[in-house]
Amino acid sequence: MNRPQPHEPRQPGTPAPTATAPSTTSTSRTVDALRELILRGELAPGARLAEVELAGRLGVSRTPVRSALTQLATEGLVEVAPNRGARVATWTVRELEGIFDLRTALEPRAAALAARHATADDTAELAHLAERMVEVGTPGRGQDLDALAELNRRFHDRLSALADNAALANALSGAVHAPIVLRNFHTYDVESLRRSLAHHVEIVAAIRAGDAVWAEAVMTAHMRNARAVMVAAAQAAEG
């Protein structure tokens, strides 16, 4: 008869075995799955996010769903209201117009100042980011919109730093809403996305030429392109 072997006593200072890894993995996968459903529009803005229904849809328990909703709320993709549960975050047409109008006033100014201050090394760094955005963002089998969003953030943050204007940088940090930027890339049609990618490349060309007026003009077009896409989507959602 086989008898169960006794557990060896844990030595002092030895960490206890962890049972959190599977839960952590499950939560991470659930976060990724829900984020993708939201960004693809399968969970529409304003849609109610019921834990039981989502757990069944994703084949997980309610615990990782609850944790995922909390994380996505910190990212701005989900809104959680006491006693009312969670919903996909929404922005009205008016809110989006206000956000993009503010960015259109600030981002072109940052690009113009960057054109005056950027060194050859700075320009090379921006060029690399713009080229990588074209590589990962161009529609096709290799497209990675999450990677594009991160490269885009780095590109615009670098322009803000090169502008060397603390007041402008502070204003930009409050005007740029990461969830809107991320959703923007998933909302673009093919032509709007190609236009956006080309804008980054042209902004680098303007900065390389030291032409502040050119850089400002292209960034203005870049912001107007993004505004048109997001406002049109919001108008369609509002009916």
Per-residue pLDDT tens digits for 160-195: 999 999 999 999 988 887 678 777 888 899 999 999
- Specify if 1 maps to a domain: no
- Specify if 12 maps to a domain: no
* Boundary of a domain, candidates 67, 88, 109: 88
* Boundary of a domain, candidates 88, 119, 138: 88
Q: Residues 113, 202: one domain? A: yes
Q: Residues 105, 84: one domain? A: no
Q: Residues 74, 109: one domain? A: no
Per-residue pLDDT tens digits for 52-100: 999 999 999 999 999 999 998 887 889 888 878 899 888 889 989 999 9
Q: Residues 97, 191: one domain? A: yes
Q: Residues 114, 221: one domain? A: yes
Who has greater pLDDT, 49 or 39? 49
Q: Residues 105, 199: one domain? A: yes
DSSP string, the chain: -PPPPPPPPPPTTPPPPP--HHHHHHHHHHHHHHHHHHHTTSS-TT-EE-HHHHHHHHTS-HHHHHHHHHHHHHTTSEEEETTTEEEE----HHHHHHHHHHHHHHHHHHHHHHHHH--HHHHHHHHHHHHHHHHHHSSSTT--HHHHHHHHHHHHHHHHHHHT-HHHHHHHHHH--HHHHHHHHHH--HHHHHHHHHHHHHHHHHHHTT-HHHHHHHHHHHHHHHHHHHHHHHHHHH-
Structure tokens at 7: 């557990």
Who has greater pLDDT, 72 or 19? 72
The boundaries of the domain holding residue 50 are 21-88
Q: What CATH number corresponds to the domain at position 132?
A: 1.20.120.530
Q: Residues 128, 144: one domain? A: yes
Q: Residues 106, 140: one domain? A: yes
- Specify if 33 maps to a domain: yes
- The pLDDT score that the predictor gives to residue 109 is 98
Mean model confidence pLDDT for the chain:
87
Q: What are phi and psi of 78, to 5 degrees?
A: -130, 145
> Binning pLDDT at 50, 70 and 90, where does residue 23 land?
low
Q: Residues 119, 163: one domain? A: yes
Q: Residues 107, 207: one domain? A: yes
Lowest-confidence range among 27-31, 79-83, 133-137, 201-205? 79-83
- Specify if 155 maps to a domain: yes
> Binning pLDDT at 50, 70 and 90, where does residue 14 land?
very low
- Specify if 61 maps to a domain: yes
Residue 48 confidence (pLDDT) above 50? yes
- The pLDDT score that the predictor gives to residue 58 is 93
- Specify if 9 maps to a domain: no
- Specify if 16 maps to a domain: no
What percent of the chain has a predicted confidence (pLDDT) above 90? 61
Bridge partners (DSSP) of residue 127 are none
Closest residue by Cα to residue 137 from 193, 183, 182, 175: 193
* Boundary of a domain, candidates 34, 64, 88: 88
Give me the mean pLDDT over the 155-160 stretch: 96
User: How many structural domains compose the chain?
Assistant: 2
Who has greater pLDDT, 112 or 179? 112
Residue 154 confidence (pLDDT) above 90? yes
